[in-house]
Homo-oligomer: A and B are copies of this chain.
Amino acid sequence: MVSITADVSGLIKSWQIQAGMCFLFMPHTSASITLCESYDRHSRTDVENYFERTVPEGASWYRHTYEGPDDSPSHIRTTLSQSSISIPVDNGQLGLGTWQGIYLFEHRSAPHTRKVQVRALKIS
């Protein structure tokens, strides 16, 4: 998991949205957008380990295997987490909880370049 909280907060400030909704969208099928505890790195380690243990690489029954043993589990892990998240904006700031961060959750084992789409709508 890689934090993108500062990137998204920066966009909302640069767009000068005072009140509204921020929409995040992941246009990939092997990575997710996840909200998680930002204080202790081990809380994310445990989430990451859970996904790796529960949806392991190379299960004998996978049929979608030609892109490697980590591809099918990455699609399953994406389905189990989120590709789109909507966050309120108030007083020009994301309405996240105190210890809540926004993370790009990469599910493949090799590094990938990912783009997250960010949009916002004002509520008047």
- A-side interface residues toward B, CB under 8 Å? 21, 23, 25, 27-30, 34-37, 40, 42-43, 45-47, 49-50, 53-55, 61-64, 66, 71-72, 75-76, 78-88, 95-97, 99-100, 117, 119-121, 123
Contact = CB atoms under 8 A, between A and B. Distances in A.
Contact of A88 (B46, B49, B119, B123): B119
Given A29-B99, A40-B66, A46-B61, 8 more contacts: A35-B79, A36-B75, A40-B64, A43-B72, A45-B63, A46-B76, A80-B81, A119-B123
Contacts of A78: 35-36
A46 B62 contact: yes
Nearest to A100: B29
